[in-house]
Structure 1
Amino acid sequence: MISKKVVLIDGHSILNRAFYGVPILTNSEGLHTNGIYGFLNIMFKAIEEEKAETLIVAFDLKAPTFRHKMYGAYKGTRKPMPQELHEQVPVLKEVLQAMEIPIVTKEGYEADDILGSLSRIYEEQGCDVTVISGDRDLLQLATEKVKISIPKTKAGGTQVENYYAEDVLKTYQVTPTQFIDLKALMGDASDNIPGVPGIGEKTATKIITAYGSIEEAHAHVDDIKPARAANNLREHYDMAVMSKKLAAIDTHAPIEIPDTSAGLENMYSQSAYQMMKRLEFKNILNRFDQENVAVPVLSAAVELTDRNEQQQKIFEAMSRPMFSAYPICEDGLWGLVMAYDDKCFWMPTKSADDLNGMAGWFDGHPDMAVMDLKERLHYFPLKESDNVLDISLMAYLLNPLKDSYDYDDIARDYLGMTLPSRADLYGKKKLSEIFSEDRTKALTWLGYYASLPLKAAPELRAALEKENMWELYREIELPLSFSLYRMEIAGIRVEREALREYGDHLVGRIQELEQEIYALAGEEFNILSPKQLGTILFEKLHLPYGKKTKTGYSTSASVLEKLQDEKPIARLVLEYRQLTKLKSTYADGLANFISEDERIHGKFHQTITATGRISSTEPNLQNIPVRVELGRRIRKVFVPKDGCVFVDADYSQIELRVLAHMSGDENLIEAYKQAEDIHRMTASQVFHTPLEEVTSQQRSNAKAVNFGIIYGISSFGLSQGLSITRKEAEVYIKQYFAAYPKIKDFLDGLVAEGKEKGSVYTLFHRKRPIPELFSSNFMQRSFGERVAMNSPIQGTAADIIKIAMIHVDRRLREEGLKSRLVLQIHDELLIEAAMDEVETVKQILHDEMSHAAKLKVPLEIDINTGTDWYEAK
């Protein structure tokens, strides 16, 4: 018989190993997928490395096996698998079935019995067999033709240990057959194999290498050393015999070999592709031939070239109740693809300016479905309208935990359709390349971008209305897109020379710090190397708090902060890290983003954070360090244009005020109404000290408690932050809740709501799903509880600042002012104000920010002006 290569996989074992080896993943349905993802990657690697022609996966059934029934033991007493893993088992089987990979189970037999029997059968047929399992029991199956492969996750990667019969002997000093006796003597609690009491691996190995089997060892029991092992074997010989029978894999189980005539040719089928799309395994999708699995285009894309005809088609679209449009401006290719009814049109233009001008034809349009509205506005500047249906933004509101809201994601999540993404179809090719290579394929892809919004928008709107989030979209997120677009267009001016001087100043201080650190260390080393720094601090200098990990000592900021008050070197290293980051990220990095107009036009994103906060990139201006004076000074390089000053407005303690409102705690509300120093008052309540006698340290500690409560801080976290004992921190928190009794009820209620509904909500009905609350892992559940406490507060604060900036931006334009909004940094708005408009701008900021939301406590705003951002702040 012609020899071929067979790969057999232990389904549950490899899924279990993958589950614990791959970080937690979930798809849009909330299904955990990390085990499946890891399993598939191990499977693909095995197929490729082994050049497999046949692949079979074996699974256990829940019923006890014949041999465990016979001897009164049952592997089913193992610790039950976590729910996050349990839910992946049937889905993995679905995936394998879609890939037409045979699955074998047998009532009364374990997977290792199936694998043992199949390996014997295939070996007898002259095949080379590889058995993949995380269970070392299977080493007993190793022969010259049967290889046992055991994947192991090390340092984030998967390594494989391979064992033929000679490898088992070399590693364990016993043959594969003797490996059964070895395990029988040692026992294995996880498999309910009792073994012989008092005999461990080392002694068991000596006995089996000396006598070959349990039976021979018992026949020479008087010669066994040590005497204790001999006595134990003599006394428990019957248990050893039973253990051997339990440990032995049945290689003659009545297994029917599945039909494998198709080999692995049908693995990448359309049904398998749909499963991978559902599971959101984007890397695995690259393995598929997109031409064979792609769903036909939703609408026929027709190229139009005559400009008059284009305008006619646009007006036809605008006569419908809804249409969709997607402008293209990249790589020298410009145009508009749009759809209405069952029609889809591609309208190329000669230039970006022509495309820009087309936007004017859409004035007064009906419901218009688009994707990524803010990004499109940069070359298709539509007039602000509440008739725009941005399906990416709508999908984000419905599930803010995803990392992508492209057309294929939305098609899968809301229409039950499987569409190939652009990356699936064309990889990293530019759109102009796609057009030149295959215009029909390019138009197919554009058809997705036009047709999908038209079909998905009604579904998404209905879902938002059902979730009570339609007003959130219409009144906050949609108009915010236009405000953010205008902010990006405006940009903020940067003085190049001041930035260079700032960098030079940093270099000088960094060099000073280097020499001071070297002097304290007694040698030069790479300060930014955690490994070298750990060696210096904890081995050479013998500093406390040394915690060794697999890669060396931890030198995290939290460790150094513990040391900084006692050891100067820790304080200096912290400052060194901060300044080197400032140098690379800001002094050097900002220069790369300064445009020809001497302004930085950063990007502001609406669909990144789960809480609803706006994020900033290219560069990130929301993450400028403020703890270090040199960090704050970077703001000096940001200046207004000539004839203007900066007006900076910042909410005061907005999250604490939101907490007061949402909790309804009368004590906290009254404190804000009386304009008390909230931290001083909290210190008075917590430490039972008259208000006028509160010390600065007590106020500082109370401030940490106030803000810590918002983030669901634990006694451990508070003790670390304040450098106090955990017991003291527990007292602080207990006294805090005694002072503000409704806050604890409110926070507990948020956790309960999260567990009941799976999500928590802001005052404006923004949804924050929390799948971690249902994790079997304690740390994950604890994290979920903190998220449940914090998200409604932080999210409500984010909603309020969004409302404020929309209204401020609108007022500046409606009143015809030259001043404009240039930055939003969390709770802060920065206006570049014309000199003669400063007082008007201040009044607008005060009016709109203080009235952005009606709370039970006043919204206080700090407003400052300056000739640079540092001075204004």
Structure 2
Amino acid sequence: MSQAPLVLVDGSSYLYRAFHALPPLTTSKGLPTGAVKGVLNMLKSLRKQYPDSPFAVVFDAKGGTFRDEMFAEYKANRPSMPDDMRVQIEPLHQSVIALGFPLLCVEGVEADDVIGTLARSSAAADRPVVISTGDKDMAQLVDGHITLVNTMTGSALDVEGVKEKFGVAPEQIIDYLALMGDSSDNIPGVPGIGPKTASGLLVGVNGGLTELYAQLDIVPTLPIRGAKTLPAKLEEHKEMAFLSYQLATIKIDVPLDIGLDDLQMGRPDHDKLAELYTLLEFKSWFEENQRDAKRSGQEVTVPVAEEAAVETELKYTTILTQADFDLWLKKLNDAKLIAFDTETTGIDAQQAQLVGLSFAVQANEAAYIPLTHSYMGVPDQLDRDTVLRALKPILEDPNKLKVGQHAKFDMNILANCAIGGDQNCGITVQGIAFDTMLESYVLDSTATRHDMDSLALKYLNHTTTSFQDIAGKGAKQLTFDQISVELAGPYAAEDADVTLRLHQTLQEKLNAIPSLSKVLSEIEMPLVPVLARIERQGALVDANLLGIQSVELGDKMVALEREAFAIAGEEFNLGSPKQLGVILYEKLGLPILSKTAKGQASTAEAVLAELAEQDYPLPKVLMQYRSMSKLKSTYTDRLPEQINPRTGRIHTSYHQAVAATGRLSSSDPNLQNIPIRTAEGRRIRQAFVAPKGYKLLAADYSQIELRIMAHLAKDEGLLHAFRNDLDVHKATAAEVFGVELADVTTDQRRSAKAINFGLIYGMSAFGLAKQIGVDRKQSQAYIDRYFARYPGVLAYMERTRTQAAEQGFVETIFGRRLYLPEINAKNPALRKGAERTAINAPMQGTAADIIKKAMVAVDNWLTSSGLDAKVILQVHDELVLEVREDLVDQVRDEIRVHMSDAVKLDVPLLVEVGVGNNWDEAH
């Protein structure tokens, strides 16, 4: 029987990866726990895979290592550890030990060195070793006994795997890293040598650095791009290459006071785990620990608060009889607040079919009413239409208060549910007073994700049943109507119950901050039915016109591809970062402006844009190609496929709880990002058309964020410009450039516009110089003159920075908050970024609040007036309406009034209105 492998876990690697890759979680007291949960999940998974193995979980110790003495700039590029990660280290270490895993931290060396020493020692004793890590440096340890596994991705690397992945054998990995460097550890390597060149060199000389430097004369003959220039480059950086070799080498002789026999798993400390899981609010693990302790005959002292929570009885009912339904109808009629949820065949609210509904009126008690489950052997269900007709008066009663989680989806499903087969006879849900997704979002837009699973874990310490748990995964995943009622019932009932319990918790927190409670009740909740109506209305698009545009874009892409091949002198795949990197940096010798996390020269959009600005021809062509490709794949090809077969229209989905500042976003399709500065982008808007007898009307706030700046800063110069309807950019140009208003040139106005908007977004003198084409000194002079002319703006910025640092958040005019966890960070870059956000967020957030209030006002007016006009789109600061032709003048005048009056500022809000047969014409 083969020996169980020694399992060595790179705890530090997984701590960083879990922290950055997984959704942030915090306890009700604000203690971050996401990284702890991620690492412990990984360890539990490994333990199941290797139940008989000895283990060691190895973490970096505090303080420097021998590599810092060797090279002072080692790991200098790494930002300091975030505070939210640092506070998780101690509870993670304690949890690892309490679970019975041997934990090692050795001063003066890194976790890699401890792992390397143990791995080689075990391999020398003919014992197999599994190293669990996500670190590529560890590949140097792989041999016939040692394998790498990445628990987060499920991948494994043996000797052949290393060769396939890196192009070199494990014994050449150190040489490979020495040549290409490692930006994450600030190992310098040889500038300009990437992974492909490094592997090509080592394979070509059939050895490592020593063999390479002994055979530099053969390098030009190797089949490597740019081989002729490599010998000089290698010779120039020889000293750095060998230093990099030392830095990349994992020690395998660290003196350790433990042996392999000391790495056996210990018994779990159930008392300590109970204490830790209570602190970390890992409720499901707490309960699992209690069961494990009981099975092993141990008595565990349960903290009082947890003891009560563990024993809570859930009363979930699946309603299959008229008697049970009548009982719940009475409960719903008598309830002061109803939590409800729909179960459907899909997630497209305009096409999915209703499968069932769940309700809760008090915590820990809920019911599910299955209506259209359709698998073999399904029990008899109540008649769908009879149930919906009975629920309709309750759901449509505006005085019967309701709470949902992402209730807009449920509203649209019920509006489209066609009782009796009549498409015009659905349920128009009214009385949605609360939405737990929006309660969480308003409370803190950035603290967590706002889906039910994340909220339940954060605020209730409850792990919900996931859809995959009952439906399966991948291609074989069942739709909800195919899931057995026995499984579907508790799952659906839990949704309603958790929604109610979340509301009870979140409402209490919001009530403690009246300004946030007001944002929820006066802005976000009134907007929910408005957005639901806009989504159901949809927008008409001309699929034929999009098809023509797609062909034209394809032709332009072919021409650009040919131009790229001509510049490169060969054909290559424009979509391949690898091939592109070789062409740009090895063949054409363009400067490397940035590297990827893997140390490869970056071909990201921002890098190409910067190279294009430096007048390199290939990056310019590539930027055009990528722009065309994105328009084609995202819009001209995709939009026709998104036309709803029932309505003949496109129905985007609007999201209230995504952007941190309060702005709406949209998806399927995302209409916020259609470019309007290019002719091709504007042509896509031409495909959004008005039906016969109607026009499209676009109403857009003009310079709203600058107007908000004037209001917030109380600067007399800006207030004067807006109150007197001056061209604010010309007015700024006159002030900054010291000329009369009438003498301002087009270029001066353009520069002033860049200054006006740049300062709102925290643009530096360097950034402004780049944008307006002057040197940094001149740019700084413009900014200084701007602040001298508009001192109120400078005072606002300084005041905002100070307030943000003191209170940890900024607010919009209406009291919406944006928390800034890094406003007092020791890292200057993080702190400066938070300060820029602090200055901009009140303006951007207030603009978002204003358009939301305007949407509600316009919707109320259209609903009460009965006019044949409907809002079909909202994009940034713009509303697009479909209006009957004979009503255009009336609607134009009225909408300007309603949008201008949405809020009273110290300066007037200007609304520009356009009309046309398509969106582009109207805009």
Aligned to 1:27: 25
Q: Which residue of structure 2 aligns with residue 417 of structure 1? A: 462
* Higher deviation after alignment, 786-795 or 534-543: 534-543
Task: Letter of the 1:86 partner, please give it.
Answer: R
| Of 611, 617, 621, the match for 2:661 | 611
Report which of the two structures shows the higher radius of gyration computed on alpha carbons: 1
Asked whether the equivalents of residues 534 and 555 of structure 1 are also in contact (C-alpha less than 8 Å), the reply is no
Q: Of the candidates 363, 366, 371, which is equivalent to residue 400 of structure 2?
A: 366
Looking at structure 2, the residues matched to 535 and 125 of structure 1 have their Cα atoms a distance apart, in angstroms, of: 44
Cα deviation, residue 629, structure 1:
1.1
Structure 2 counterpart of 1:824, from 868, 871, 874: 874
Q: Out of 673-682 and 250-259, give the one that drifted further.
A: 250-259
In structure 2, do the counterparts of structure 1 residues 427 and 787 end up closer, same or farther at CA, with 3 Å as the change threshold?
Answer: farther
CA separation in 1, counterparts of 2:86 and 2:148? 22
Q: Name the % identity.
A: 33
Matched, 1:862 2:912: yes
Residue 862 of structure 1, CA deviation? 0.5
The alpha-carbon deviation at position 794 of structure 1 amounts to 0.6
Taking the aligned partners of 1:157 and 1:775, their CA distance within structure 2 comes to 36
Task: Give a deviation string over 1:600-633, Cα, whole Å, max 9, x none.
Answer: 1111111111111111111111111111112111
- Decide whether the 8 Å contact of 1:355 with 1:379 is kept in 2: no
Superposition deviation, residue 412 in structure 1:
2.5
| Structure 1 residue aligned with 2:333 | 318
Aligned partner of 1:54 in structure 2 is 54
> Contact 1:15–1:36 (CA<8 Å) still a contact in 2?
no
Question: Structure 1 pair 725/16, CA: closer, same or farther in 2 (3 Å)?
Answer: farther
Alpha-carbon displacement from aligned partner over 1:305-334 (angstroms, at most 9, x marks no partner):
345763552343231222322122326662
Q: Tell me the distance in 2 between the aligned counterparts of 1:168 and 1:508.
A: 46
Give the gaps of 5 or more residues in structure 1. 66-77, 174-201, 204-245
- Say whether residues 1:593 and 2:642 are aligned partners: yes
Corresponding residue of 1:91:
91
Distance 1:455 1:535, change over 3 A: closer
Matched residue type, 1:575:
Q
Q: Which AA in structure 1 matches 2:442?
A: L
Deviations 1:752-785 (A, max 9, x none): 3333333222111212222233545443333222
2:413 aligned counterpart, secondary structure: coil
The answer for the alignment partner of 2:236 in structure 1 is none
Q: Which residue of 486, 489, 494 maps to 2:541?
A: 494
Equivalent position SS for 1:612: coil
Contact 1:3/1:125 (8 A) holds in 2? no
Question: Is residue 339 of structure 1 aligned with residue 385 of structure 2?
Answer: no
The residue aligned with 2:320 is 305
Change in Cα spacing, 1:540 to 1:483, as seen in structure 2 (3 Å) is: same
Query: Which of 401, 424, 441 is the equivalent residue of 2:487?
Result: 441
Task: Describe the superposition over 1:94-126 as per-residue Cα deviations: whole angstroms up to 9, x where unpaired.
Answer: 442564435478999999999999999999999
SS of 1:613's equivalent in the other structure is: coil
Give 3-state SS (helix, strand or coil) of 2:813's partner: coil
CA contact (8 A) 1:18 1:34 kept: no
1:718-757 matched pairs, under 5 angstroms:
718-757=768-807
For 2:138 and 2:616, the matched residues in 1 are separated by 54
Q: Give the Cα separation in 1 of the matches to 2:535 and 2:79.
A: 55
The separation in 2 between residues aligned to 1:134 and 1:835, in whole angstroms, is 62
For 1:99 and 1:56, how far apart are their aligned partners in 2? Answer: 12
Separation in structure 2 between the aligned mates of residue 114 and residue 509 of structure 1, nearest angstrom: 56
Equivalence for 2:505: 459
Q: Tell me the SS of whatever aligns to 1:649.
A: strand
Distance 1:256 1:602, change over 3 A: same
- Quick check: 1:10–1:111 contact (8 Å CA) kept in 2? yes
Displacement of 1:530 after TM fit? 4.8
Query: Of residues 340, 343, 348 in structure 1, which corresponds to 2:370?
Result: 348
In 2, Cα distance between equivalents of 1:169 and 1:501: 56
Match of 1:796 among 834, 846, 854: 846
One-letter amino acid matched to 2:446: L
Identify the residue that residue 681 of structure 1 maps to in structure 2. Answer: 731
Alignment partner of 1:709 is 2:759: yes
Whichever residue aligns with residue 88 of structure 2, its letter is Q
Structure 2 CA distance for aligned equivalents of residues 820 and 826 of structure 1? 18
d(CA) in 2 for partners of 1:153 and 1:300? Answer: 38
Counterpart-to-counterpart distance in 1, 2:623 and 2:586: 19
Query: Any conservation in 1 of the 2:432–2:525 contact (CA below 8 Å)?
Result: no
TM-score by length of 2: 0.72
For the pair 1:771 / 2:818, whether they are aligned, the reply is: no
My pick for the range that moved more, 836-845 or 416-425, is: 416-425
CA distance in 2, matches of 1:824, 1:496: 21
The CA distance in 1 between the partners of 2:134 and 2:826, in whole Å, is 22
- Relative to structure 1, the CA distance from residue 117 to residue 251 in structure 2 (aligned partners, 3 Å threshold; closer, same or farther) is farther
Q: Is the contact between residue 545 and residue 559 of structure 1 (CA under 8 Å) also seen in structure 2?
A: no
Check whether the contact 2:659–2:665 (CA below 8 A) recurs between aligned residues: yes
Letter of the structure 1 residue corresponding to residue 678 of structure 2: V
User: In terms of mean alpha carbon deviation, does 79-88 or 310-319 score higher?
Assistant: 79-88
The CA distance in 1 between the partners of 2:154 and 2:734, in whole Å, is 50
**2: CA distance, partners of 1:814 / 1:311:** 36
After TM superposition, give the deviation of residue 641 of structure 1 in Å.
1.6
- For 1:655 and 1:154, locate their aligned partners in 2 and report how far apart those are by CA, in whole Å: 43
| 1:395 aligned onto 2:440 | yes
Q: 1:64 to 1:690 in 2, by over 3 A?
A: closer
Give a deviation string over 1:392-443, Cα, whole Å, max 9, x none. 2211212222664333322232234343433455543899767766533322
Comparing 29-38 and 584-593, the one that deviates more: 29-38
Bigger mean CA offset, 658-667 vs 362-371: 362-371
Shift in alpha-carbon separation, 1:569–1:345, aligned structure 2, 3 A: closer
2-side partners of 1:117 and 1:618: how far apart? 52
Counterpart residue type for residue 625 of structure 2: Y
Indicate conservation of the 8 Å contact 2:147/2:157, yes or no: no
Q: 1:476 to 1:64 in 2, by over 3 A?
A: closer
Partner of 2:232: none
In structure 2, what is the equivalent of residue 581 of structure 1?
Answer: 630
Query: Counterpart of 1:733 in 2: which secondary structure?
Result: helix
SS in 1 for 2:339: strand
C-alpha distance in 1, partners of 2:143/2:477?
Answer: 54
CA RMSD of aligned residues (A): 5.1
Q: Aligned equivalents of 1:442 and 1:280: distance in 2?
A: 21
**Counterpart residue identity of residue 536, structure 2:** I
**SS of the counterpart of 2:823?**
helix
**Equivalent residues in 2 for 1:561-710, closer than 5 Å:** 563=612, 566=615, 570-596=619-645, 597-710=647-760
- For the 8 Å contact 1:411–1:452, the answer to whether it is kept is yes
The aligned amino acid for 1:398 is L
AA at the equivalent of 1:645: K
Whether contact under 8 Å (1:770, 1:788) holds in the other structure is: yes
> 1:831 aligns to what SS in structure 2?
strand
Q: Does structure 2 retain, via aligned residues, the 8 Å contact 1:652–1:859? A: yes
Compared CA separation, residues 298 and 804, structure 1 to 2 (3 A)? farther
Deviates more, 1:446-455 or 1:30-39: 30-39
Query: One-letter code of the match for 2:748?
Result: Q
State the 1:464 CA deviation.
1.6
Q: CA 1:499–1:263 in 2, change beyond 3 Å: closer, same or farther?
A: same
Deviation, 1:788, is: 1.7
Question: What is the deviation of 1:554?
Answer: 3.8
Which amino acid counterpart does residue 630 of structure 1 have in structure 2? E
Give the secondary-structure state (helix, strand or coil) at the position aligned to 1:675. coil
Give 3-state SS (helix, strand or coil) of 1:773's partner.
Answer: coil
Q: Distance in 2 between matches of 1:117 and 1:634?
A: 61
Equivalence map 1:474-513=2 (5 Å): 474-513=521-560
Q: Count how many residue pairs are aligned between Structure 1 and Structure 2.
A: 774
Whether contact under 8 Å (2:149, 2:155) holds in the other structure is: no
Q: 432-441 or 82-91, which moves further after superposition? A: 432-441
Q: How far apart are residue 519 of structure 1 and its match?
A: 4.7
Indicate the larger mover: 681-690 or 615-624: 681-690
Distance 2:134 2:368 in 1: 54
Alpha-carbon separation, structure 2, partners of 1:106 and 1:847: 70
